[in-house]
């Protein structure tokens, strides 16, 4: 079992990037490993920062292993979604929904898009991560069933951080676009724009991360003809 000092070292990069006197994000205290019988946290946070992406997080060894998924998860097993490995986050981050101030790292609107628990399908998670293929089962409100994260060849200095998030074929696989059909927070039932409005963020910017539906799409304006043209058209 890792000692508390070693666990805190895992959060060194996370803390270095943030100013906790400015940002409401949790500073985090790395937690000791849970008992084998304890359930592990899983969470996906929809994040409209400079660009929209989905932060996919799995609890392991006292922190949240984290990947940024630009297009979000797909329920379609034929779709492979890029997932960039980022720094570990503290366990408390799983509950964070709100605004990261502009000018801060990741400044923008954060939503708890999905959450639940996960269980590894591999006997040795650390070995699976080193080898670049982690199979697991999700028990979320939106994402469920068997999945895999596979490390792939990237480019440049971040080549080792490139992974693919893929849904396995099972009863939970689907052609449904879950990011469009289920866009709201699982904790507050809010859209990104509503979170920004309530928490003092940039509403218009956040709204670009919300899907346009029939309920929100503006109807095209009717073109009004001049009175003289209307009269001629009526006679015709």
Report the C-alpha gap between 145 and 138 in whole angstroms: 5
Yes or no: say if 61 and 127 are a contact pair by the CB < 8 Å rule.
no
Give the start-to-end residue ranges of the domains of the chain. Answer: 4-235
pLDDT (tens digit, 0 to 9) for every residue of the chain, 236 residues total?
A: 455 666 678 899 999 999 999 999 999 875 554 555 589 999 999 999 999 999 999 999 999 999 999 999 999 999 999 999 999 999 999 999 999 999 999 999 999 999 999 999 999 999 999 999 999 999 999 999 999 999 997 655 556 799 999 999 999 999 999 999 999 999 999 999 999 999 999 999 999 999 986 544 443 334 434 444 545 545 54
Please state, in angstroms and as integers, the Cα–Cα distance from residue 150 to each residue in 57, 122, 131, 189, following that order: 15, 13, 9, 32
Report which DSSP code applies to 30. Answer: P
Q: Which residues contact 183 (CB under 8 A, 6 or more apart)?
A: 191, 210, 211
Q: Locate 13 and state its tokens.
A: 């990069």
Give the pLDDT of residue 156. 54
Give the pLDDT of residue 212. 85
Give the pLDDT of residue 160. 76
pLDDT tens digits, 121-176: 999 999 999 999 999 999 999 999 999 999 997 655 556 799 999 999 999 999 99
Residue with tokens 């040795």: 124
Across 50-143, the runs of DSSP E, i.e. the strands, are 52-60, 63-69, 81-90, 98-100, 108-120, 133-140
Residue with tokens 């959450």: 115
Report which DSSP code applies to 224. Answer: P
């Amino acid at each position: 079992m890792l000692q508390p000092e070693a666990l805190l070292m895992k959060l060194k990069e996370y803390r270095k990037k943030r100013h906790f006197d400015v940002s409401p994000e949790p500073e985090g205290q790395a937690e000791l490993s849970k008992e084998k019988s304890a359930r592990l946290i899983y969470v996906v946070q929809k994040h409209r920062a400079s660009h929209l992406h989905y932060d996919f997080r799995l609890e392991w060894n006292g922190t949240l292993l984290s990947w940024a998924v630009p297009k979000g998860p797909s329920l379609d097993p034929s779709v492979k979604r890029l997932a960039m490995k980022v720094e570990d986050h503290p366990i408390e981050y799983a509950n964070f929904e709100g605004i990261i101030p502009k000018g801060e790292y990741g400044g923008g609107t954060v939503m708890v898009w999905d959450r639940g628990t996960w269980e590894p399908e591999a006997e040795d998670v650390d070995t699976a991560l080193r080898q670049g293929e982690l199979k697991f089962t999700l028990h979320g409100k939106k994402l469920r069933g068997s999945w895999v994260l596979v490390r792939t060849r990237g480019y440049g200095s971040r080549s080792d951080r490139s992974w693919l998030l893929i849904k396995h074929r099972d009863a939970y696989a689907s052609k449904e676009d879950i990011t469009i059909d289920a866009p709201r927070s699982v904790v507050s039932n809010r859209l990104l724009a509503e979170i920004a409005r309530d928490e003092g963020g940039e509403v218009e910017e956040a709204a670009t991360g919300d899907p346009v539906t029939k309920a929100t799409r503006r109807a095209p304006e009717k073109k009004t003809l001049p009175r003289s043209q209307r009269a001629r058209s009526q006679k015709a």
